[in-house]
Structure 1
């Protein structure tokens, strides 16, 4: 606040472009990990074991893809927001409008309603109020048990109120494996490797909240350093959230692992299951009263901060990208009123959506978030990948691919809420497309369909103007890895002089320097290999 010019775009939105690597990395991790993680990851750990950790460790790689492949392009294009990049790359207005609408859907379905539900659940467990859920962390609990004891006791954590003739309430046999059966499991391994990566690339490489943190770095080296720090920190959720959730099931099996819908309804208000109370239960039962109250106050403050940030971003997208497009002569006073009214509308829609959050995916909040992400985010990821790495992509192809992808994703999402998963012991009467096609497999299908349509339409229509492609894609002289990537995608090697000329025309809009000192660049690349090796080891060890 004190050091930057907040009256300028660069100063207000990007901290003056002066952030060094460690606050960039910490901000990336803190922006990613929220109430949905503490409630949802712990709940998934209690319900089905460590498999949900795959989402976190997938992010280890995708945040590095952002820094090494996408960020040089964003910096060279001199953009502040992701819709602005698509506008610069493809031209026209409909891509920007369409993306704004899609982002609002994503915010409502996966952010606002989830945060509200998570906040209410925590308060419900703490104060026994008839609310919905909240969030706070307890890392020390993991040290109560060694991993070996945890593995032994988790399989014995069976609720006493289950029907002895069914599998309801029993821990999964593959609870300590990330790679699971490709047909019958809750997280099939091909979907984990491929279907999970598309939404993850959208989140880490194209979502405004994440990319904006990296664009605020003082140069590309600090952005890469921040990405490396965030990638290393992504190792922690298994120990911070998943294992404590599994420990909670061991300590409170009749509550966290309840199997009877009527009993679950009485315990947590959700007949689908009570695994999401795992983390709050640890905090409420094991912390002393004073510390419990302190953590509740911190949780409520964090929840309010999270919600206000999302409300602000959503309101800005609606008023500036949608309302102002349809009413270009609207006054500033009108925009302010519309923005505030829209926030109220968001609150109402999100509250009405909470019962569907509760009932979806067997009561597992984190799996609900990931399933909705798999229905809405892959088409956006495909459009950004094509826009960044294939210069033949034009606006018609990108828009058609995005339109088809959104239509398919919305249909599957509606079917998911119309045909809810059966409760334990009930027959599964859902249609085959819902029952037999896992959401991660659907993510793969969605991405492939969007890719085929975008490529086909682009090839069948006129190529984009050369000057538009150059202004959006010219970056620093590519590394060998980058040049190989560009060659595989059919792009020509960029010319350094053209890059400098393009950068010179941008003036102050270029958000960070793309220059890297050779020694620092080598250190970063060595750390990149170390981080990738650590990620591969973790995947292999827990596979």
Structure 2
């Protein structure tokens, strides 16, 4: 439980961010006309690179990540930091190869892009899958993490706390549109990063520095927790082979083909702002290993030296033994290591992550629901009516995500749970987007069949894993399974593209790269802000980091 001062700090932050969101969204001069979809859904295409980069980061990093990455740091060390650092490579792909298509084609949604490149069937399926994935991955899982934090800190019933946060976040998101989301996300990114740095510094100071932590880990046969890359055959299923084969499948879908994420670049002022904004996010993604994962590893060292009391996390297992439920490790670090006042700031950071994730997902769901579903059957719908439909869609999605909470709360590790879901959704979508922009012969019929068959296979494999966990199929690492499903989807689309040859339209003829050099033909800004220079710099930094922490 936290004190009165910290409670007032947290409450004051929530009130302030809701006020800022409503002002930004309803200010017509800043946001564009909210009655027009261009203003409501895409912020009038006025976003600049700093805001895009911060908003991308805030939409990705939620309360779920703070809680679950700290939990993973406690359980497995720096290993799951690969999900953060590997994201830098996929953000480079977004900036170099995907953003130009999206900006030049003038699309409002990614399903819209698939229709122009392939056909209407692809658009419909992606719209449906995107809404479902946003509800489950971006909102419901975040609610679970947020509920755990708020229940632990304030003693409030988990569902009551979630409903209150949902109503407050939904208010400025549904009313204000993308401008409200991006403005608040930019603020929340700064608060979230600042709060994470604070808890990291206190943990680092308490543990005694790097050498002392290594000494503690070595004394408890846990020195391998420092390694980012594990050998092939790692019992946890996260060997370097699994990371480098499986993550690109998950990452390309998440960062390059997921409406919730990519919508921030669609609202860019121009192509250069979109590209540099994506790369800026790539640089920020270096931080989570040090400010989200590392504190969890420090907590493990402190626990082993009895400097951190985790008795409240002890629970009885079904076999009658006592085991540690590490889901609440982050909140205990906050309450036991920080002085009053700073606890409130950290709670505000957690709420920032929770609210920004939900806000971003709701806005993308509103866009998909109005543009890709409602307008599909009522093409003559007035523009203002589309905004109303988007708001209603977001509201319904909010209710559905709350209904999913009891099911998703069953995962022992929230981070493993969310990536397990993504691993079975991503392969067909990643396949269709990659072949669509890099292969001229990828046909619409083949793409539609790949989406249907690939999604069915993913659902089947996921169901087997949950209903028959002792089978050989269920024991395959979700990262390797994602790679297997992706290769299967590629084979399906390639074969069917020869069976059903492509018939290009005027739109689709321009929506694939003729060569890998073509996307690099744009000069970009001069000087260090050039997207080519920034891409090379980010690649070099990531190579050095992996060499140090291999």
Q: TM-score range by the shorter chain?
A: 0.7 to 0.9
**Corresponding position of 1:431:** 471
Superposed displacement of residue 389, structure 1: 1.3
Correspondent of 1:467 among 487, 506, 509 = 506
**Corresponding position of 2:7:** none
1 or 2, which has the higher helix percentage?
2
Structure 1 contact 258–264 (Cα < 8 Å) conserved: no
**Corresponding position of 2:56:** 28
**Corresponding position of 1:503:** none
Structure 1 unmatched runs, 5+: 158-170, 421-429, 487-495, 497-513
**Matches for 1:11-50 after TM superposition, within 5 Å:** 11-50=39-78
1:185 aligned counterpart, secondary structure: coil
Partners of 1:221 and 1:318 in 2: CA distance? 29
Structure 1 contact 264–272 (Cα < 8 Å) conserved: no
Superposed displacement of residue 468, structure 1: 3.1
**Corresponding position of 2:215:** 152
Superposed displacement of residue 411, structure 1: 1.3
More displaced stretch, 241-250 vs 17-26: 17-26
Whether 1:96 and 2:157 are equivalent positions in the alignment is no
Q: TM-score, normalised by structure 2?
A: 0.77
The alpha-carbon distance between structure 1 residues 395 and 419, as it changes in their structure 2 partners (threshold 3 A), is same
Partners of 2:383 and 2:286 in 1: CA distance? 45
* Aligned structure 1 segments of 4 or more residues deviating by more than 6 angstroms: 132-136, 257-260, 263-267, 327-341
Correspondent of 2:484 among 433, 445, 464 = 445
Deviations 1:437-489 (A, max 9, x none): 11011101111111111111111113222423224347xxx8x8524x99xxx
Deviations 1:76-110 (A, max 9, x none): 22212111101111132x21221122112212332
Superposed displacement of residue 72, structure 1: 1.5
Partners of 1:219 and 1:318 in 2: CA distance? 25
**Corresponding position of 2:185:** none
**Corresponding position of 2:95:** 67
Superposed displacement of residue 210, structure 1: 2.5
**Matches for 1:114-193 after TM superposition, within 5 Å:** 114-131=141-158, 137=196, 138-144=199-205, 145-154=208-217, 174-186=224-236, 187-193=238-244
The alpha-carbon distance between structure 1 residues 259 and 172, as it changes in their structure 2 partners (threshold 3 A), is farther
**Corresponding position of 1:516:** 524
Partners of 2:536 and 2:212 in 1: CA distance? 33
**What is the aligned residue count?**
482
Correspondent of 1:398 among 438, 447, 457 = 447
Structure 2 contact 136–401 (Cα < 8 Å) conserved: yes
**Corresponding position of 2:18:** none
Whether 1:86 and 2:114 are equivalent positions in the alignment is yes
Structure 1 contact 48–175 (Cα < 8 Å) conserved: yes
**Corresponding position of 1:106:** 133
Partners of 1:521 and 1:297 in 2: CA distance? 34
More displaced stretch, 454-463 vs 298-307: 298-307
Structure 1 contact 374–443 (Cα < 8 Å) conserved: yes
Structure 2 contact 60–357 (Cα < 8 Å) conserved: no
**Matches for 1:404-423 after TM superposition, within 5 Å:** 404-419=453-468
Deviations 1:105-156 (A, max 9, x none): 2123322221111111111221344527999733433431422222222455
Q: Provide the aligned C-alpha RMSD in A.
A: 3.6
Whether 1:353 and 2:404 are equivalent positions in the alignment is yes
